[in-house]
Structures are given as structure tokens and as C-alpha cells.
Amino acid sequence: MSQNKTIKEKKPPKKITASYLKNSGTYYLQKFPASRAHFEFIMMRKIRKSIEHHESPTLEEAQDLLTQTSIYFEELGYLNDRQYALVLSRSLFRKGASPKVLSQRLRIKGINDDIISECLETVLPPNADLIAALYLIKRRRYGAYASQDIKKDSKKILGVLARAGFSYHIAQQVIDMPLDEANDTLNNIAP
């Protein structure tokens, strides 16, 4: 092996065209679900790099192409903020995310407030805070679900639940709940 290592040069970014945005967008959306706002954020990074290198098209022209591409994907059903919000909120709820955290995560992804409230009404059961807290301690094996004494420490569990967005009242309720009652609560929610 020679001392002179060849440094691999980066390929220049591709020039922005309507077909490039559709192909690149298709590739991205096949790998990752996204809201329209998040998709446009990701694609704008590509656009800025390309414009910086090629100096064309103008940013306004590229934004128009991106808007057309987003509309194209919405018509195909690849970009659907309502569906994306429902799937993401169900997944996060089952992992133990509090309703407060759910709405924050959806806002970060660019979902508007009307869709967020509609989605949370659909996904969350009446006692959502309690159920989400139970999902969290079950997943992390704390409290009633702990197999080790160290994971039954109420101060640690309080900290975990507080950082996850749960109130002291809910945290205390979950800590004091016996295993049978916790399992019954989780088993009696609608799928």
C-alpha cells in the first residue's frame, strides 16, 4: 500500500430540476414518512447546496418547483399530514409519550394545530396520561414491571416520568399501582 492515499472527492450536487426533485423526493419518501413541512425542509437543504454550487436556478424558481413537487406527492398520497400525524402519535403514545409531548413532537414536524387536536382526539383514550405513563414504565421496566429492586426506587421513577412530561399526580399514581391493576388498565383500552 502506498503512502499517498487518494482522498475521495465529493460529487458535486445535482442541478435542481423538476424531475430531480421528483426522483429525490420519491427516494426520500420511500425510506421515511414525512409531513409536508418536514419534506420541504429536507428538500430545501438539497436545493440550497445545489444553488450554492451551480448558481442556478434562482431560489424563488427552486421553491416554486418544490411547491409543485409537494403538491404532486400530496395528490399521489405520499404526503398526507393527517395520516402521518395519526401514525406518529399512535406510535409515540404506545412508547409512553405524554399528550403534551405528542403535541410538541407533531408541531416540530410541521403539523398545524387543527390537525394535531383532531389527531389527539382520535388517538388518545380518556385517561391518556395514566395509560401513557404505564406504557413508559412497562417499556423501561420500572415500578410494578421492574425485576430489580433498584428500578423500583420511587425517586428515580418520578424523575423519569417528570422528564417525560407527566404530572406529579400521575407519576405517584403509577408508582403506587400494583402489577395486576396496571395490566388490567392497559388491557382494557380500545386498540
- φ/ψ of 161, rounded to 5, equals -70, -35
Q: Give the single-character DSSP code of 78.
A: S
Q: Exposure of 132 by Cβ count < 10 A (0-12 exposed, 13-18 middle, 19+ buried)?
A: buried
| Residue 13 dihedral angles phi and psi, to the nearest 5° | -65, 150
Are 129 and 170 in contact by the 8 Å Cβ rule? The answer is yes
Q: What is the pTM of this model?
A: 0.81
Which single residue is written with the C-alpha cell 421528483?
A: 22
Helix (H, G, I), strand (E, B) or coil at 159: helix
Nearest CA among 63, 73, 61 for reference residue 35: 73
Q: Give Cα 108 to chain centroid, integer Å.
A: 8
Which residue pairs from 19-28 have beta carbons closer than 8 angstroms and sit at least 24 positions apart in sequence? 21/65, 21/66, 21/69, 22/69, 22/72, 25/69, 25/73, 25/78, 26/78
| Pair 131, 185: CB distance under 8 Å | yes
- H/E stretch holding 132 reads helix 128-140
Mean pLDDT, each 10-residue run in order, the chain (191 residues):
62 90 95 94 94 89 95 94 95 94 94 95 93 94 83 85 94 92 86 53
User: Which residue matches cell numbers 442556478?
Assistant: 56
The pLDDT, as a whole number, for residue 5 is 57
